[in-house]
Structure 1
Amino acid sequence: MTDEQPSGAEKAFGDFAPALVDLTDEVLFGQVWERPELAKRDRSLITVASLLTSGSTEQLVFHLARAKENGVTEAELIEAITHLAFYAGWPKAMSAMAVAKHVFRDQ
């Protein structure tokens, strides 16, 4: 047992879906996000774009905050969402912008 705080996945699903938690923590964030071929900043922009285009707004809360931690500015994220409105669809962009407003202004 380590002294580390439980991950978000562990908090959400640790006793319900431990295999998913392990894959999330060890493979996705432990291996994929750590690959040197892309900077974490770039991975964050790609992830936000992917979540927006798929309509996965509930995951945007975490990933917009993570993008800021990885050096993407709020202005850049707002511009990315605005840009994606023309490629992913207006409703998806409006939903994503509502999440961004909540993450950047209301928390």
Structure 2
Amino acid sequence: MSHRSEQGQRSFGDIAPTLAELTDRVLFDQVWQDPVLSPRDRSLATVASLIALGRAEQLPFHLRRARDNGLSHDELAALTTHLAFYAGWPAAASAVTRLRELKDEEARS
């Protein structure tokens, strides 16, 4: 694999260096690079899981990654609406807040 992630190191390497190393080398350099699933499919699964589990703090990073991996705002909004029926309205409402923040961020860019 030619690309090596440093996201974990940047995010929390100073506090939890082993977690940062596992995040970079296993999660992002191995799991995310496995060609069995496309990056788009991995993003769709990851965002759905984060919404369903109510992990709103992790959503901004993964929503941006999902956009980079080819998911549109409309697709992410449709995913969020779909999950409201399976994961609950509060989880979907929290995700919409994060999706709005991303849309605003992209509009300013």
TM-score (normalizing by structure 1): 0.90
* 2:44 aligned residue: 45
CA distance in 2, matches of 1:48, 1:95: 12
* 1:3 aligned residue: none
CA distance in 1, matches of 2:99, 2:29: 26
Deviations 1:47-81 (A, max 9, x none): 00000000001100000000000001111001100
Structure 1 unaligned residues grouped into runs of 5+: 1-5
CA distance in 1, matches of 2:6, 2:76: 24
Deviations 1:58-106 (A, max 9, x none): 1000000000000011110011001100000000000011011011124
Deviations 1:15-56 (A, max 9, x none): 211100000000000000011111000000000000000000
CA distance in 2, matches of 1:47, 1:56: 11
TM-score (normalizing by structure 2): 0.89
Q: Which amino acid aligns with 1:51?
A: L
Root mean square deviation, CA, Å? 1.5
**Paired-residue identity, %:** 52
